[in-house]
Amino acid sequence: MKSIVFLFIFFSFAAISAEVKEVSVPTREVAIIVTKEGYYPKKISVFEGEKIKFFVTSTVEEPHCMIVESHKVFMAANKGKITESEVVFDKAGEFAFYCPSSKNDGKVVVMKKQVTGRDVASEKKNAPSVWTPKEY
């Protein structure tokens, strides 16, 4: 009877102390500055599935913006102020960002993640089932 009570207490404690870990999407933070010459950086490279957190500001007095129309990102870029926005790029490809008032433009290059597969020797076709030396 004592062992049953001990096991009950042990498993109850183990269940309470076990943490449920949520799978979170990786976040990449990208700072973009609007200058007289345009956006800096003009090209951003990210991986598909990453959450991108944009921080946008400007060095010029005139108000500008940053728009990634395909992902519904519309951000103001004002001197001395930082605007934040988050977006997830689910598909690989190139996505333009721009500001219609200043004719500035740039692009986000979303790269496909490489998934490396592992070959299992027992699953390979035409593989010998038993190794024998070449001399035999």
Residue 128 within a domain: no
Q: What is the CATH number of the domain that holds 56?
A: 2.60.40.420
> Which domain, by its residues, includes 55?
27-111
CA dist 129 and 27 (Å) reads: 46
- For the cut 60, the answer to whether the pLDDT of residue 11 exceeds it is no
pLDDT of 56: 93
Residue 76 within a domain: yes
- For the cut 80, the answer to whether the pLDDT of residue 23 exceeds it is no
For 99-131, what is each residue's pLDDT tens digit?
888 888 899 999 998 776 666 666 666 665 676
* Token pair for 80: 């001395």
For 56-70, what is each residue's pLDDT tens digit?
999 999 888 898 888
pLDDT of 57: 92
Q: How many domains does the chain have?
A: 1
Preceding amide of 100 cis, omega within 30 = no
Residue 16 within a domain: no
Residue 18 within a domain: no
Residue 133 within a domain: no
- For the cut 60, the answer to whether the pLDDT of residue 15 exceeds it is no
- Residues ≥6 apart with Cβ < 8 Å to 68: 87, 95, 96, 97, 108
Stronger pLDDT, 6 or 68, i.e. the higher one: 68
Residue 125 within a domain: no
Residue 122 within a domain: no
